[in-house]
Amino acid sequence: MTSASTASSTSATSSSTTSRAFALVRTADELHARAARHAGTVAAAGVAENSRTAVVMTMGALHEGHATLVRTAREYVGPHGFVVVTVFVNPLQFGAGEDLDRYPRTLEADLRTAEAAGADTVFAPSVDEVYPGGEPQVRITAGPMGERLEGASRPGHFDGMLTVVAKLLHLTRPDLALFGQKDAQQLALIRRMARDLNFPVEIVGVPTVREADGLALSSRNRYLSDGERRTALALSRALFAASDRLAAQSALRARADSLPGAQNRAETRAEALSRLGEARAAADAHAVAQASEGSGAGAVRAAARSVLDDAAAAEPPLTLDYLALVDPADFTEVADDHDGEAILAVAARVGTTRLIDNIPLTFGATK
């Protein structure tokens, strides 16, 4: 798993972190014993609220996105809860030619990051601990949603991801598990698995953390050269351009709809704006709405694609894998007249590094 999330306040966790007994455990038995001791300590202290357990699953190489997930987990369970960070590079998620061998392994630094963010324990099991007897013969299948976008680009990836998430949920026994919105399709599939297979756990999604220049935090960012990083910024710029385009469309529609008598006239928004003498706005409204109540999903896609096309001609170039505007429920493409929630997702390669990003959008909110 990979994960990222928005920055959140650390004031609720900073004081409790300094006195918390932090530990690294390697086996599920050690983890369960530690959780039991924690629960006993909380009970002996006469704490009224129930002590809940939260888990943040990672593949290590922790960055600020992971740290924010841990801080958010601490906020959810409170100072007396039990926060577990798993560090496990899952071989089932890597296909042929992917970067399993070179995936960064930085456990000592990960321990410092997890402790500072407010974790009680890092659970860093071996492959034999998670998969005793070798690769599992029975696995979770992601279904049709797992065959789209990332699943199409990385066959079998989501089956491997769901299988290890299911196993880690059993091994860590949490009340809630937190995952980053940066991996939006992963998050949707985990939620679906938990619902369909009746896992007694709350799945919490936490928005994407970005670096100062807008690049979504990822353990793979360290692979980028300076030039490749400049090109890679096109991913977030494309998403923000699409978001800005949607906001502009919504503002134009609101302006046209607010004109006196606009709701009772058989005229397009472009014509309504023309009555104000706003020729440029009218032309824009005509281009994106074309005398209809359409939501402009096509224009939003086009705004993002324009940025990505420019990056494809840069040096070094960006090689687009996919740009998709999808329904969060099943990750199918939305229609041009879509109303409601959507996710604009992008994946691309810069040099040898493959990056993903996404942004949630809402269509039709101002109608």
- Tokens found for residue 232: 């890679």
The DSSP call for residue 50 is P
The answer to whether 6 and 211 are in contact (CB under 8 A) is no
Position 43 scores a pLDDT of 87
- Tokens found for residue 147: 């065959």
Cβ atoms within 10 Å of 3's Cβ, excluding its own? 29
Three-class SS state of 194: helix
Backbone angles phi, psi at 343, to 5 degrees: -125, 125
Position 365 scores a pLDDT of 56
Cα Rg for the chain, rounded, in angstroms? 23
Task: Calculate ∠ Cα 201-189-214, nearest 5°.
Answer: 105
Judging by DSSP bridges, how do beta strands 53-58 and 23-25 pair with one another?
A: unpaired
Backbone angles phi, psi at 177, to 5 degrees: -130, 135
d(CA 267, CA 254): 15
Position 290 scores a pLDDT of 42
At a CB cut-off of 8 Å and minimum separation 6, what does 62 contact?
85, 87, 106, 109, 110, 113, 114
pLDDT less than 50: residues of the chain: 2-18, 266, 287-295, 366-367
pLDDT tens, position by position, 169-220 = 999 999 999 999 999 999 999 999 999 999 999 999 999 999 999 999 998 8
Q: What is the pTM of this model?
A: 0.83
- Tokens found for residue 268: 């397009």
The answer to whether 18 and 193 are in contact (CB under 8 A) is no
Nearest CA among 366, 296, 293, 360 for reference residue 331: 360
The answer to whether 34 and 25 are in contact (CB under 8 A) is yes
pLDDT tens, position by position, 244-258 = 999 887 777 666 666
- Tokens found for residue 129: 């601990």
Position 36 scores a pLDDT of 94
Cβ atoms within 10 Å of 298's Cβ, excluding its own? 16
| DSSP states of 51-75 | P-EEEEEE-S---HHHHHHHHHHHH
Q: Which residue among 38, 63, 66, 338 is the active-site one? A: 66
At a CB cut-off of 8 Å and minimum separation 6, what does 352 contact?
223
pLDDT tens, position by position, 315-336 = 999 999 999 999 999 999 999 8
Position 291 scores a pLDDT of 31
- Mean pLDDT for the chain overall: 86
Type and span of the H or E element at 350: strand 340-350
Nearest CA among 364, 17, 62 for reference residue 222: 62
Handedness of CA 210, 211, 216, 217 (dihedral sign): negative
Q: Identify whether 66 is a catalytic site residue.
A: yes
